[in-house]
Amino acid sequence: MDNNNNNSLEERVSVFLNEEFDHHRCNNLEYDHHHHHQSNDTNDWSEERTIYWESQYLLLQEVLERYNLTGSKLRREIGRTTDMAKDTEYCHCAKTKTVHGHGCNHCLRRIVIKNLREKGINASLCSSKWRHTKKHPQGCHEYIEVIGNKTISSQSKQISYVVEVEFRDQFEIAKPCEEYKKLLSLLPEYYIGKIDCLNAVVRIICDSAKRSMKEKKIHMGPWRQTSFMLMKWSKVPLNNSSDDTFQPPISPPPSPIKKQSQFSVAPPAVVVT
């Protein structure tokens, strides 16, 4: 039932954005046909712009409200764990430090996974990779996956949650318009939720980034496009991966914890490509 609701949410976002695109295209055609009415066209463009940004803001609010309905307890726990990890000297590799000066996100993800496992939460590291195409450059991205248990009709069901510790930073762009800044301020610093809701958020923000950069007359690189961004949190199923894609566990599994937890103790994490 939840999957159907989430899928319909993402589909609604896609349909809405496609309708917006058609509406913008019609406005552009009308503008070309009536370009001699400059003052009227300017007013029409200003009105259309206001409607666009207001609708994007309301749509993102609706998606984030749905996002906050599930996994609130897990979200608080992972958020606290991530904040505590950032306050430690977690990075010991030779990689360049982040702009925040804490350390690389590669090491941050690993210490977060380690700390979550010690609390009895089933957390593992995932990696998505994609090849170079005519539309997109080659790339890869790491994120955390947490498996939680939910009781439905007296039956326990496993639910997968995506954990992105640098979520808001993924959508930073050069010289954003004020409306885009306002949208970005709605996003959580960390994303901890279902993939379907994540995809809906990505579609809204990427479409808004495209609009902002167009208004500022800035070229939008292929790595900013919706299809490219969505690939960051995708993964190939484990049974389709070759043996040489597996990496050693980042840490041994913790000792059994006597305290009961709603999340199962995780096995050693593997990288899924």
At 84-123, the pLDDT tens digits run 998 888 887 766 555 455 678 889 999 999 999 999 999 9
Does 273 fall in a domain? no
The total domain count for the chain is: 1
Determine, yes or no, domain membership for 271. no
Q: Residues 6 or more apart from 161 whose CB is under 8 A from it?
A: 71, 74, 145, 146, 147, 148, 192, 193, 194
Residue 145 lies inside a defined structural domain of this protein: yes
Contact 166, 139 (CB under 8 A): no
Q: 3-class DSSP state for residue 193? A: strand
pLDDT band at 70, cuts 50/70/90?
confident
The answer to the question of residue 218 being in a domain is: yes
Q: Does residue 60 form part of some domain? A: yes
**How large is the average pLDDT for residues 167-176?**
94
pTM of the prediction? Answer: 0.71
**At how many degrees (to 10) do helices 195-215 and 38-67 cross?**
160
In a domain, 20, yes or no: no
Would residue 12 count as lying in a domain? Answer: no
For residue 265, the model assigns a pLDDT of 39
Residue range 159-183: mean pLDDT, rounded: 94
Cβ distance 118 to 251 under 8 Å?
no
- Write out the DSSP string of 210-229: HHHHHHTT----GGGSHHHH
Chain segment 173-228, per-residue pLDDT in tens? 999 999 999 999 999 999 999 999 999 999 999 999 999 999 999 999 888 999 99
What is the predicted pLDDT for the residue at 190?
94
CA-CA distance, 55 to 19, in Å (whole number)?
Answer: 12
Give the structural domain span for 209.
46-232
Least Cα distance to 125 among 117, 115, 116, 113 occurs for 113
